[in-house]
Structure 1
Amino acid sequence: MFEACVIGAGPCGLAVSVELKRRGISHVVIEKSCIVSTIYRFPTQMVFNSTPERLEIGDIPFYTERAKPTRMEALTYYRTVVQRLELPVRQYEEVTAVERDGSGGFRIHSRTLSGRPLVTETRAVVVATGYFDHPNMLGVPGENLPHVTHYYRDAHPYYGQRVVIIGGTNSAAEAAIDLHRVGACVTLVHRGPAMSDKIKPWVKPDIQSLLDKRAIAFHFRSRVTEICADHVRVETPEGRLDIPCDHVLALTGYHPDTSFLEKLGIQFDPETGIPAHDEATYETNVPGIYVAGVVVSGFDANRIFIENGRLQAPRIADAIASRMTARVG
């Protein structure tokens, strides 16, 4: 039996693994995809807003060519951490259920990529599942059509295409710039009065310039009401508008999977979506189950990033170590 099982191998889950290993606590990390899969799924040319030292875990330096790290540099860095520290990560294994074992511990039921079922016994569980698998849906007809996606990776496939981008934050701004540069015909639709004031400082001038020059069409204070095969229906301040398009990028953000936590018996604040937890230890209302990373932020996924989420790890590891000490007596 392990002392702890970490569910999720994002930067925050890996940070917990680092701290558990430092304390000599037996554990395993189970990840349904590859390590730091959210970063892997970021746009290929993405540059982080944080400086490299604020993304470091395990006291392993993060060296980059420029002031801000790229997606590829981050992937290389976290692979290096796992390899150098020999973190016990099991990739491509999806957790399907967590149940109590009747003696104060838990059984983690999981399934490998080949479909083989596994059961892992542990005394504590750390849920660090992130949010990127759960986009904020628009809730409009046509959202599930094949030319609609909530993820943007690369501009090349959109060359010569008419693309409607829904959203007004970093992801929408960067996608709009990239697509314009490869020759796409871009239209931005955003419910706010302007692009977000939280857009990265090196991105803001470029997107603003394109908007000012009308190189990109835009509709602010507007809302998509329906997505059709060849156009998007939008309610604007001037009335209803049908915008012809070949592709739709609905870049409206993401949220943690609360249903998984609810099945474990974890309670939530109905207004904020924040799971009930001790702010000193991150242990939830279910003894032995801890939360880490963006899942702690509830509905506001922008409240916790790698740079502050990683700082939760020592507290969680200390709390699990204290449980061990109390049990041994």
Structure 2
Amino acid sequence: MKNGKLFDVIIIGAGPIGINCALEAKKKKLSYLVIEKGPLVNSLYNYPANMQFFSTSEKLELDNIPFISKDPKPSKQEALEYYRRIAVSNGLNINLFEKVLSVDQIKNFKVTTDTCSYHAKNIIVSTGFYDLPNKMNVKGEELPKLTHYYNDPHLYAFQNVAVIGASNSAVDAALEIYRKGGHVTMIIRGDSIGDRVKYWVKPDIENRIKEGSIKAYYNSEVKEILEDNIVINHGGKIIKIENDFVVALTGYRPDFSFLKSIGVELVGEKQIPTYDDITMETNVKGLFLAGVICGGLETHKWFIENSRVHASQIMDTIAP
């Protein structure tokens, strides 16, 4: 044990839900440690620079701590500031830039990181899903012109840019790049823009496509990526499009290999983790899940506003 300490609970992941778990643990007077492989709220930090949340600020609040934003739907920067201030003002016990390598269970849990090891009676996994993109598995996907993460549109000014996908992230990227002077072509697997696209954005993208400002190929998929072109299958017809950059926003997935390595059972094609809906405890006694990781491949099922309750459910089980 590090310094002879046995924690009541170790929380893996310092996103909003991990922070909420720490707040609840502190209220229950439990000894706890949060371990995060990157910066605080790592996933949010890696979101696009100009991202605006779908949810209003009050739905992103933790522990009834007011989240004040200048607009009804806060920005990424406002969220980073909000969650940082919570961590600071509450003196939360968080280790950043420390990666968990393994979790083993004998009598208690042993958590081994790239720095040292810790012991705990209980473990909460709240790691999200943003680190592993869904690959297209096509030739040329490894080229430096392709990214699965979008940040700032300025990079793509006056360039021929293919945006792969039709979700919120793909639509936001396409519109921002177009408005910075990029020549945008969207490659969309289905026959329309996604149903979950933000209601105030969907008319914008549909009108830009309709007027021809943004080119869209529906019912299409990428077949190959070349240095100066991208090859797609458009309704059975192979088309080669002149191209400088590919922004492949094809979604992300949880680290299923990590969940399996710690004994969590995954069910069905959607790889849904096994856990109790009331306690959030998995099939491994003393090991709990919180946040979006609970949805497996259904990454749209859980988000901040509807998984905040997981923290109190877990702590009520650990220390009723």
Q: CA deviation at 1:309?
A: 1.4
Measure, in 1, the Cα distance between the counterparts of 2:306 and 2:270. Answer: 19
What TM-score results when the alignment is normalised by the length of structure 1?
Answer: 0.94
- Alignment match, 2:72: 67
Task: Check if 1:25 corresponds to 2:30.
Answer: yes
Measure, in 1, the Cα distance between the counterparts of 2:93 and 2:63. Answer: 14
- Alignment match, 1:202: 200
The runs of at least 4 consecutive aligned structure 1 residues that moved more than 4 Å come to: none
Task: Check if 1:97 corresponds to 2:93.
Answer: no
Measure, in 1, the Cα distance between the counterparts of 2:207 and 2:268. Answer: 41
Task: Read off the aligned partner of 1:149 and give its amino acid letter.
Answer: T
Task: Read off the aligned partner of 2:312 and give its amino acid letter.
Answer: P
Measure, in 2, the Cα distance between the counterparts of 1:271 and 1:241. Answer: 32
Q: CA deviation at 1:35?
A: 1.0
| Mapping for residues 239-250 of structure 1, pairs under 5 Å | 239-250=237-248
Structure 2 spans left out of the alignment, 5+ residues: 1-5
- Alignment match, 2:111: 108
- Alignment match, 1:327: none
- Alignment match, 1:85: 90
Task: Read off the aligned partner of 2:111 and give its amino acid letter.
Answer: I
- Alignment match, 2:146: 148
| Mapping for residues 255-274 of structure 1, pairs under 5 Å | 255-274=253-272
Counterpart among 118, 127, 140 of residue 116 in structure 2: 118
Task: Read off the aligned partner of 1:10 and give its amino acid letter.
Answer: G
SS in 2 for 1:28: strand
Q: CA deviation at 1:9?
A: 0.3
Aligned residues: 315
Q: CA deviation at 1:66?
A: 1.1
Task: Check if 1:52 corresponds to 2:57.
Answer: yes
What per-residue deviation string (whole Å, max 9, x for no partner) do you get for residues 270-313 of structure 1? 23211111111111001111111111001110100110111111
- Alignment match, 1:15: 20
SS in 2 for 1:72: helix
Assess if the C-alpha contact under 8 Å between 1:55 and 1:307 holds in 2. Answer: yes
Assess if the C-alpha contact under 8 Å between 1:283 and 1:289 holds in 2. Answer: yes
Assess if the C-alpha contact under 8 Å between 1:58 and 1:81 holds in 2. Answer: no
Measure, in 1, the Cα distance between the counterparts of 2:236 and 2:276. Answer: 49
- Alignment match, 2:3: none
What per-residue deviation string (whole Å, max 9, x for no partner) do you get for residues 154-189 of structure 1? 000111111000000111111011001111111000
Assess if the C-alpha contact under 8 Å between 1:6 and 1:30 holds in 2. Answer: yes
- Alignment match, 1:325: none
| Mapping for residues 208-247 of structure 1, pairs under 5 Å | 208-237=206-235, 239-247=237-245
Aligned CA-pair RMSD: 0.9
Structure 1 spans left out of the alignment, 5+ residues: 112-116, 323-329
Q: CA deviation at 1:238?
A: 5.5
Task: Read off the aligned partner of 2:44 and give its amino acid letter.
Answer: I
Counterpart among 244, 253, 259 of residue 251 in structure 2: 253
What TM-score results when the alignment is normalised by the length of structure 2?
Answer: 0.97
Task: Read off the aligned partner of 1:84 and give its amino acid letter.
Answer: S
Assess if the C-alpha contact under 8 Å between 1:30 and 1:90 holds in 2. Answer: yes
- Alignment match, 1:311: 309
